[in-house]
């Protein structure tokens, strides 16, 4: 089971069609069962293999007032944070957000190898954000664009962040993440 944590503002259900539904489609095509939960969900679902944190609209910063729930912070298994999701991972791992406005396709260069990248060296990605990230020491940068950091991985567990939207023209990143999830044993509930 993959939990898709919906980072969009819950009273604007039109956003789900744009930022959550494409992730559900890609995950289900890859053969995974999905459960979609609002970011503010307090209880961890069972039989979890991975968590995807979605992005949201340019005008939406409600997710910053919610932050990652405790059960996600305690989770040792794979996480993929997309845009807003990457910003939440950055904050949770001691980094910070910086103003950085980007809309449209951008060149992305891989700077550190990882199974998520599957040997790719560069590609173009769809950006839609008003904040970039500055990371803390416990995080490795996997890819950059001219404007700054585009992909990260935390050093102590398989938590990934991508600032661009891989559901647009880069579904392979989500599929690679799901492959990472399928190789992991199911994580036990924290004692």
Partner 1 sequence: MRLAVLLSGGKDSLYSCWKAMQTDEVVCLVTILSKNTDSYMFHTPNIELTRLQAEAAEIPLIEYQTDGQEEVELDDLKASLQEAVNRFDINGIVSGAIQSVYQAARVQRICLDLGLWSFNPLWLCNQEEYLQELIDNQFEIYIAGVFSAPFDETWLGRRMDPRFVTRLMSIRDRYGISLTGEGGEYESFVCDAPFFKRRIVITGSEIIYKNHNGRFLITGAELEVK
Sign of the C-alpha dihedral, residues 161, 3, 125, 127? negative
Neighbour count for residue 11 (Cβ, 10 Å): 7
Q: Find residue 3's DSSP bridge partners.
A: 35, 51
Q: Find residue 103's DSSP bridge partners.
A: 128
| Number of residues in contact with partner 1 under rule CB under 8 A | 23
**Does the footprint of partner 1 cover residue 73 (CB under 8 A)?**
no
* Residues noted as catalytic: 83, 165, 167
**Does the footprint of partner 1 cover residue 147 (CB under 8 A)?**
no
Among residues 4, 51, 167, 181, the one that binds partner 1 under rule CB under 8 A: 167
**Does the footprint of partner 1 cover residue 169 (CB under 8 A)?**
yes
Q: Find residue 80's DSSP bridge partners.
A: 52, 160
**Does the footprint of partner 1 cover residue 76 (CB under 8 A)?**
no
Among residues 10, 45, 59, 138, the one that binds partner 1 under rule CB under 8 A: 59
Query: Are 170 and 164 contacting, i.e. CB atoms less than 8 angstroms apart?
Result: yes
Q: How far apart are the first and last CA of the chain?
A: 21
**Does the footprint of partner 1 cover residue 168 (CB under 8 A)?**
yes
Binding site for partner 1 (CB under 8 A): 12-15, 17-18, 21-22, 25, 57-60, 101, 103-105, 126, 128, 130, 167-169
């Amino acid at each position: 089971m993959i939990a898709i944590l919906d980072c969009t503002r819950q009273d604007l259900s039109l956003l789900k069609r744009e930022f959550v539904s494409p992730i559900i489609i890609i995950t289900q095509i890859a053969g995974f069962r999905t459960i979609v939960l609002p970011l503010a969900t307090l209880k961890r679902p069972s039989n979890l293999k991975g968590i995807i944190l979605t992005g949201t609209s340019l005008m939406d910063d409600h997710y910053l007032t919610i932050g990652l729930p405790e059960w996600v912070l305690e989770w040792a298994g794979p996480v993929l944070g997309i845009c807003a999701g990457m910003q939440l991972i950055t904050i949770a791992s001691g980094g910070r957000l910086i103003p950085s406005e980007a809309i449209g396709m951008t060149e992305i260069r891989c700077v550190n190898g990882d199974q998520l990248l599957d040997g790719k060296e560069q590609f173009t990605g769809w950006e839609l954000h008003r904040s970039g990230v500055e990371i803390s020491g416990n995080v490795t940068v996997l890819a950059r664009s001219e404007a700054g950091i585009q992909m990260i991985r935390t050093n102590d567990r398989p938590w990934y962040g991508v600032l661009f939207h891989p559901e647009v023209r880069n579904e392979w990143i989500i599929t690679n993440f799901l492959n990472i999830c399928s190789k992991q044993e199911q994580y036990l509930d924290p004692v």
